[in-house]
Amino acid sequence: MKSISLLGATGSIGQQTLDIVKEHPEEFQITALSVGKNIEKTKEIIRAFQPKLVSLQLEQDALALQKEFPQIGFTFGKQGLIDVATYEDSSYLLNAVLGSVGLESTLAAIRQKKAIAIANKETLVTAGHLVMSEAKKYGAPILPVDSEHSALWQSMVGENPKSISKLILTASGGSFRDQSREELKNVTVKEALNHPNWSMGAKITIDSATLMNKGLEVIEAAVLYDMSYDDIDVVIHRESIIHSLVEYHDTSVMAQLGTPDMRTPIQYALSYPERLPRPNAQRLDLAKIGQLNFKNVDFDRFRCLGFAYEAGRMGGTILTVMNAANETAVAAFLDGKIKFLEIEDVIDRMMQQHDNSLNPDLETILHVDEETRKTVKSMLK
Ligand code: NDP
Ligand code: MG
């Protein structure tokens, strides 16, 4: 039985993780979990999964739930995320919290030698060098949950990493893949949230529409697999059936295919090296799909992917600036405060005016993250 600490239990990945735990009660149990502000859903989860420790974003919510569930431990805020991530009865951390707020809890769990199943890509983007070096030092496995990185991983098992020549990430193209740059000017939040293939949280759905999600994933791939940015390609693949590919130096290309269902990579991260059955899941029917399409990305129509390659190649605090500017700008777009293409403008401006420093420590990263958010917020006022 694997005991799991789950960060972000009320979110899209969190809920699908709970589905997997429910599908395999003999394999997995949730010992501790964190949520944000969704109290009703939290109560349902507590009743269904009986965790021993629960963290809420706000102290008053933790105090209120403590009265209702006196047998359970409650904690809150940033420290709450760390308490859940390092909960002693858990051997796994599944980090599905949203944004770079997941960084410190990931590092804390690594130091407790937990296996880290990571969906929280912002953590790997902002502080990938720290996460990977600490993981190596403490012997904590980093298990990707993101479907592309899971596909790369599954296409590498048993291979010699030295024979890999290229990583190829597939991108659906997001909600606006058929729109011209001109048409992007006045798109609405509702249109942006309408993803053609995947059902996901709001922030990542917007990131998919700007292609920043693919940019974050290029960085995530460089960090996880120690690859040069010159050897990471992105290809538009509308059907989201091939989840990513690895090219080897003998020209062979290995790929992982499946229906667009995040529960499969979530389960693989938790069950590895085993594969567990998913009897009720939709299976891939290639004849029904008929054809798979591929084309190159237009870097002029969607500028965020270019920003990510640029920041990734530079390394250092510029990665934190890009990520924090994106998180803040996307939140502003979702709030109706800025237009879709202004997300790019905000990131561009923040990156241009940043004085980069290489190999930042945790303190520096947290400082730059906070400063960037403040500057963007005052810029948008
Ligand atoms: P959601 O927005 O659906 O869920 C986010 C979760 O984090 C919720 O539980 C939310 O709580 C909680 N949360 C948000 N902000 C805070 C905070 N400041 N403090 C504590 N908890 C907080 O996001 P997703 O599930 O879509 O994404 C989660 C992560 O996984 C992201 O990093 C994303 O990029 C990544 N990912 C997601 C995929 C997907 O298919 N959704 C695919 C691959 C990666 P509450 O709702 O209770 O307020
Ligand atoms: Mg992905």
223 with 262, same domain: the answer is yes
DSSP secondary structure string, 61-97?
HHHHHHHH-TTSEEEEHHHHHHHHHT-TT-SEEEE--
Q: Percentage of the chain with pLDDT > 70?
A: 100
Q: Tell me which residue of 169, 239, 168, 234 sits closest to 197, measured CA to CA.
A: 239
- 122-156 pLDDT per residue, tens: 999 999 999 999 999 999 999 999 999 999 999 99
130 with 275, same domain: the answer is no
377 with 232, same domain: the answer is no
15 with 140, same domain: the answer is yes
243 among annotated binding-site residues? no
- Please state the pTM of the whole predicted model: 0.98
Q: Tell me which residue of 160, 155, 134 sits closest to 144, measured CA to CA.
A: 155
64 with 119, same domain: the answer is yes
Q: Which atom belonging to ligand 1 lies closest to the Cα atom of 120?
A: 32
170 with 94, same domain: the answer is no
Beta carbons of 38 and 10 less than 8 angstroms apart: yes
Above 90 in pLDDT, residue 173?
yes
- 313-365 pLDDT per residue, tens: 999 999 999 999 999 999 999 999 999 999 999 999 999 999 999 999 999 99
Domain boundary among 287, 313, 339: 313
Distance from Cα 101 to the centre of ligand 1, integer Å: 10
Q: How many domains does the chain have?
A: 3
Taking CB atoms within 8 Å and a gap of at least 24, the contacts of 186-189 are 186/339, 186/340, 187/340, 189/333, 189/334, 189/336
Domain boundary among 144, 176, 191: 144
Angle at 10 between CA 145 and CA 269, to 5 degrees: 20
163 with 291, same domain: the answer is yes
Pairing state of beta strands 232-236 and 115-118? unpaired
**DSSP state, 169?**
E
Domain residues for 331?
315-381
156 with 227, same domain: the answer is yes
Query: 87-101, 159-173, 188-202: lowest mean pLDDT where?
Result: 188-202
Distance from Cα 68 to the centre of ligand 2, integer Å: 37
307 with 319, same domain: the answer is no
147 among annotated binding-site residues? yes
ipTM: 0.99
Domain boundary among 295, 313, 331: 313
Q: Residues with beta carbon inside 6 Å of ligand 1?
A: 8-14, 34-38, 57, 96-98, 101, 119-122, 146, 198, 200-204, 262
**DSSP state, 282?**
P
Distance from Cα 330 to the centre of ligand 2, integer Å: 17
258 with 300, same domain: the answer is yes
| Residue of 6, 13, 40 with the most ligand 1 atoms within 8 Å of its CB, for mutation | 13
Rounded to an integer, what distance in angstroms lies between the CA atom of residue 331 and that of residue 309? Answer: 23
CATH number at residue 354: 1.10.1740.10
172 among annotated binding-site residues? yes
24 with 126, same domain: the answer is yes
Q: Which atom belonging to ligand 1 lies closest to the Cα atom of 201?
A: 26
- 243-260 pLDDT per residue, tens: 999 999 999 999 999 999
Q: Tell me which residue of 171, 175, 140 sits closest to 239, measured CA to CA.
A: 171
80 with 197, same domain: the answer is no
CATH number at residue 41: 3.40.50.720
pLDDT band at 196 (very low <50, low <70, confident <90, very high): confident
Rounded to an integer, what distance in angstroms lies between the CA atom of residue 216 and that of residue 222? Answer: 10
Beta carbons of 288 and 329 less than 8 angstroms apart: no
- 9-33 pLDDT per residue, tens: 999 999 999 999 999 999 999 999 9
Above 90 in pLDDT, residue 111?
yes
